[in-house]
C-alpha cells in the first residue's frame, strides 16, 4: 500500500542478481564487441573468464533462461537460490575468518568510486550530482557516503589517491586512480569544487 502522491521504490539488488536481470549473454556480447573494437589495447579482466564459463560453456544466461549466478524456479514459483556450483569458478578459496572486514568494505567502495572518477575524466559525466545520485539509486552505492564522488570528496582526494595506491599494490590495476584524480589530489581539489553544478535558470 502506498500513500497518494508517493511512489514505492524497489530496493536495489546485488551485483550478481543485477547481472542476471540484465542477461549474462548480453554482457558477453558487449565484452566481445569491446575486444573487437579495441584489439590489442583491450585489457582482459577476471570477469571475462567467468562470463565465458557461464555463457559459452554452461549456457547460463541469467533470469531469461532460468539459470545464471542464481537458479530460478519454473514459472516464477518459489524463491531463487544462488547457484550451488558458483564457488567452483573461483580457483582461490579464502578463509572468511582471515579477511580484514574493514579493508573489504574499502575495496567495495573504492573500486566503484575510481570508475566514477574515470567517467568524469572521459566526459561521460559532466554534472557531479548525476554520478552521486545515479550510483545510489542505480546500483546501490552506500547511501551514507552521498554517492561515489562525494565519497571521494569527503575523504579528500589526496587521502583517497593514497588509499588507491595502497590497494593497487595489493590487488592490482583496478584500483589505479585516473590521471584527473591524481592531478586533483596534488592540487587539493574536490570534484564539487573543480566542477561546481550549474545553477538552474530562474523560471
Please tell me whether residues 84 and 103 are part of one structural domain: no
End residue of a domain, out of 39, 66, 89: 89
Q: How many CA atoms lie within 13 A of 145 on its CB side?
A: 26
pLDDT digits (tens, 9 = 90+) for 142-161: 999 999 999 999 999 999 99
- SS3 of residue 44 by DSSP: coil
Assign residue 146 a region: left if phi > 0, alpha if psi is -120 to 50, beta otherwise?
A: left
Confidence at residue 59, expressed as pLDDT on a 0 to 100 scale: 96
Distances (CA, A) of 150 to 51, 136, 146, 187: 32, 11, 5, 17
Q: Which residues of the chain have pLDDT under 70?
A: 1-12, 76, 199-203
Confidence at residue 2, expressed as pLDDT on a 0 to 100 scale: 45
Percent of the chain with pLDDT over 90: 67
pLDDT digits (tens, 9 = 90+) for 22-35: 999 999 999 999 99
Contacts of 94 (CB under 8 A, 6+ apart): none
Please tell me whether residues 44 and 28 are part of one structural domain: yes
Q: Could you tell me the residue range of the domain that residue 71 belongs to?
A: 15-89
What are the cell numbers at 115?
Answer: 570508475
- SS3 of residue 170 by DSSP: helix
Please tell me whether residues 65 and 103 are part of one structural domain: no
pTM: 0.73
CATH number at residue 22: 1.10.1040
Domain count, the chain: 2
Confidence at residue 11, expressed as pLDDT on a 0 to 100 scale: 60
In a domain, 10, yes or no: no
Amino acid at each position: 500500500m502506498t500513500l497518494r502522491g508517493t511512489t514505492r521504490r524497489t530496493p536495489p539488488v546485488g551485483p550478481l542478481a543485477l547481472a542476471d536481470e540484465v542477461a549474462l549473454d548480453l554482457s558477453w556480447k558487449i565484452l566481445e564487441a569491446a575486444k573487437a573494437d579495441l584489439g590489442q589495447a583491450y585489457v582482459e579482466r577476471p570477469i571475462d573468464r567467468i562470463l565465458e564459463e557461464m555463457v559459452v560453456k554452461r549456457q547460463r544466461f541469467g533470469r531469461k533462461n532460468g539459470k545464471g549466478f542464481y537458479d530460478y524456479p519454473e514459472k516464477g514459483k518459489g524463491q531463487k537460490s544462488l547457484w550451488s556450483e558458483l564457488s567452483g569458478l573461483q580457483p582461490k578459496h579464502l578463509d572468511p575468518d582471515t579477511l580484514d572486514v574493514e579493508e573489504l568494505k574499502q575495496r567495495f567502495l573504492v573500486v566503484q568510486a575510481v570508475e566514477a572518477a574515470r567517467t568524469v575524466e572521459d566526459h561521460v559525466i559532466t554534472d557531479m550530482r548525476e554520478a552521486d545520485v545515479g550510483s545510489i539509486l542505480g546500483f546501490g552505492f552506500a547511501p551514507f557516503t552521498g554517492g561515489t564522488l562525494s565519497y571521494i570528496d569527503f575523504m579528500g582526494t589526496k587521502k583517497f589517491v593514497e588509499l588507491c595506491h595502497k590497494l593497487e599494490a595489493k590487488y592490482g590495476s583496478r584500483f589505479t586512480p585516473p590521471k584527473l584524480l591524481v592531478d586533483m589530489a596534488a592540487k587539493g581539489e574536490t570534484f564539487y569544487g573543480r566542477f561546481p553544478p550549474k545553477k538552474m535558470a530562474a523560471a
